[in-house]
Amino acid sequence: MADYKNRDMTQGALFANTRKTSANQPDFRGELTLSKALLKELVENVKAGKEAKLSLAVWKKTSKKGNEFQSIAASLYVEKESVGDIEVPF
């Protein structure tokens, strides 16, 4: 299990789109702020010919005003390789 409290992660939030007027508009809107360290790693990956891929984690939360939202944390994606029944990150 990832240790989300002790990592330099990118964070953001998604809120219900209260201005939605058609089915083509998003159900949720929000923002995600990239840390400088994560952005640097993504740029290095792209320069090395790799994808700029992130892992996302989302938690359901309630604001102090009682509005429900999703809190988002992002980190650099780590490819996992399965060895038997055990997943090993590489």
Please list the pLDDT of the chain residue by residue as tens digits (90 residues). 455 454 556 789 999 999 999 999 999 999 999 888 889 999 999 999 999 999 989 999 999 999 899 999 988 888 877 666 666 665
For residue 55, give the amino acid letter: S
d(C-alpha 73, C-alpha 9), whole Å:
6
d(C-alpha 42, C-alpha 78), whole Å:
12
Length of the chain: 90
- Asked if 36 and 20 count as a contact pair (C-beta separation under 8 A), the reply is no
pTM for the whole thing?
A: 0.67
